[in-house]
Structure 1
Amino acid sequence: MKHQADIRPSDAELAVAARGGDCACLGVLLERHRARLYAAALGVLGYGPQAEDAVHDAFLIALRHIGDLKEPQAVVGWLLSILHRCCLQQLRRRRREVLTAEVPDRPDDGPSIEERLEKVALREWVWNALGKLPESQQATAVLRYFGSYHSYEELAAILAVPIGTVRSRLSEAKRKLAEMLLETAGGVDPDAASQSRQHHRFYDEVFRSFSRPGEYDRHLSHFAEDLHLVRGGDRAVFGRSFLTQEIRDDHEAGVLIEPQRIFGTGNISVIEGRFCNPPEDPFHCPPGVAFVVVRRSGQAKRLHIHLSPRSPRIDDD
């Protein structure tokens, strides 16, 4: 009898099923690598809304193009390539909706998005998902992705709203569609969901303990003695002692850390939180912080710290 861990589908198997139109398997695949993709986006764009937007963009482009994937065993590299392009588009401040952007090195002189979605049998899922959006977002998204008018100016004229409203509605619709796609993973890979919950509880306790004297010492052993610590644009340093000193400095300054979003899979976990500064020094730390933890053999070997003037949104991941 096979152990449960042995029967979990591989990335290639999920990609083949998704390519055949199984949206749940595409959701599993994206959920499995969401933390890795987000960590990569943080490395390019820093902590802020652009990194999260780039990941959502990559999800939706993958939804559009999964039927064209020719090498299922290379699906992770394919996803990272899509993400890299999305990050570059964010950096270049391109003004068009990236759902129409192409998979790297694949020119789009072929079928429309509707025809592509029919080809991979995912069109029904997209229509059902669009139907769950608020009416204003639904109308904007349907016009944008399935209508004959594609420019923001034309959509604004049709809907009689400012161009900025069109942009904000499409941005929110894109985020919700990406979240619905991830939700399809829950019933297919319960083992991964259970592991994710365990990591959530563990890291919530670890990072909250950093603000409590006498408690963080027992969690520091989770971080390797030769920890690779990267903080923003600063030069990387090696050694758990640097993390220990950062924790002590924040504690002495009266700064608290409150984790608010924790997610991950495999060997990567992302912890988003906010700093609570003391009343006498309200600007000691910026409000937002993201930690990217990379594990090896159950121990954290790399830790990336990204600071932001923006606190993370709170939701249930």
Structure 2
Amino acid sequence: MRDAGEAARVEDVMLTRAAQTGDIAALGTLLERHRAGMRAVALSILGPGADADDVMQDAALTALRRIGDVRDPAAVGAWLRMIVRNAARSLLRGAVVAAPPVDELHLPSPEDGPEQWLERSAARDWVWEALENLSPVLRMPLVLRHFTTGVTTYEQIARACGVPVGTVRSRLSLGRAKLAAALAATADSAHGDAEKRGSASRVEARETLAAAESGHFGRLMTERWSPEVSLLRGLDRLGGWDLLVRSMDKDVEDGVRQRLVHAVAGRSLTVWEMDIINPPDDPGHCPSAVAWLMTLDEAGRVRQLRLAHPRPVPLVDLLPAV
């Protein structure tokens, strides 16, 4: 007869392999089996309180996104505790260790990381379908926290959304709970193709940048964006179509260029993360990076744009010179 430890390892292997095929019940069982050990790690680093609870919730979503990265299913418990340990230490440092972004890596490889696995897996479609079931105020913080690479800390999300850090914490907590319910509710539903949507969005981002560099940004916006588009800073509306075109044209005229580094795309929310390349004679003209946070209308056109930077940017820096 197998001893209890061997039986537990066999069950971990079965549950992990099932979770890697998109079985949410198997993942839930794994998390429950190892919850005590995970929580013990969180408490040992952070002590009791809201931070430990946040890290446990973060770990559950990270496990969903990265379960395909588990190479040794028998050691999944140690892998889950490592996620909690890294998240807790990152929280103490005020940073989030992000998974590497995916651009156009479509061929499977033994060296593929969690984002590559997620791109080619039905799990990504399922997660995005569940995210679409959340309200916009809950969806935005979750997408920024778990699916971007540069707008991930509570402070960065708070600036992007125009709300206090405490509100970000509460929205993430509520959003994770509602996402778990939405995942369970949509487990057997047909899901959209998130990989195709992401690939199309990357193409659109590059076309948008090319149009801007050739002086045709306004024409592209007329064709593809809502005529009622608004540029927002937090909750404040700065302007519309005219301001966006003037700002982009002015940056291009000054020699500023943007390069796409990462994109995530849902039916109602798309994020393009860009590196900013300043002119050699003015290296401090703009911040080094920017994320375009775009809320879409029912036709898939951009109706709201927020620009988020890794560090705060004075309001005057977002406006064109007069």
TM-score by length of 2: 0.45
The answer to which structure, 1 or 2, has the higher relative contact order (CA under 8 A, 6+ apart) is: 1
TM-score by length of 1: 0.46
